[in-house]
Amino acid sequence: MADKPESYLIVGSGVFGASTAFHLQLAKPTASITLIDRTPFPNPSAASHGLNKIVCADYGDIFYMKLALEAVEHWRTNPIFKDYYHESGIALLENVNMGRGALENYRKLGVDVKAEILSVEDARGRFGGVYEEAEWEGAKECYWNPGSGWGEGEGEGALRSIIEAAVEAGVFYVEATVERLCIDSSGICTGVSMTDGEVMSADHVILCTGARTAQLLADIVLGDKDL
């Protein structure tokens, strides 16, 4: 008799949940993977659902920069994302040397970028004069990277695209509101209970619920003296 496929429940279909479902299905093609959220996708309440999101690797943390460089390359080349990516460049007014830290990390990683530090006077005269009359009080300099950009997150944007790709790969999308986690006598989470009373069980439950995470965990924490 064939072994029962490994099962996963992913609660929350924002960027974390959608990406987890998609990549988990690719890594485990025989697994049963279900993505749950309370609205048709994409959920307009998700933090990742919005008109636009900055897409860049300009970070002072070199580990985070490495991850972001991989992500930016996906935005540029992956069919799931590339139609929703706009490499407009990014200009950051700052006074904490963040841009200089990003430039140093690019240098350490051997990444060739066209980013530069502009003086306030130089930045005022760039970009067609759009910032000429801007309020620059407190700004020390401007970090400019023409190789960064933004991604479309709302409506038919990137979030919908990756969930559609996940479903096409074999992920099940369920529209339901999770009310609580189901915990067995040994303290293992075995599934979730919906507001309509339906219970879904799985070998693994992954919470990608953002601000709702505390609410879902509250009953467990309050009921367990060891937590």
Q: What is the pTM of this model?
A: 0.86
**In terms of DSSP bridges, do strands 172-175 and 32-37 run parallel, antiparallel, or are they unpaired?**
parallel
CB 65 within 8 A of CB 95: no
Predicted confidence at residue 153, as pLDDT, reads: 76
Average pLDDT over residues 92-100: 94
In the chain, where are the structural domains located? 7-47+157-223, 52-152
The torsion angle over the Cα atoms of residues 99, 70, 23 and 82, rounded to 10 degrees, is 90
Predicted confidence at residue 110, as pLDDT, reads: 98
For residue range 25-51, what is the model confidence (pLDDT) as tens digits? Answer: 999 999 999 999 999 998 888 887 777
Tell me the backbone φ, ψ of residue 64, rounded to 5 degrees.
Answer: -65, -35
For residue range 140-189, what is the model confidence (pLDDT) as tens digits? Answer: 999 999 999 999 976 678 999 999 999 999 999 999 999 999 999 888 99
Give me the helix-helix angle, 15-27 and 158-169, nearest 10°: 30
The answer, yes or no, to whether the previous bond of 42 is cis (omega within 30 of 0) is yes
As assigned by CATH, the class of the 7-47+157-223 domain is alpha beta
Residues 6+ apart with CB under 8 A from 72: 55, 56, 57, 148
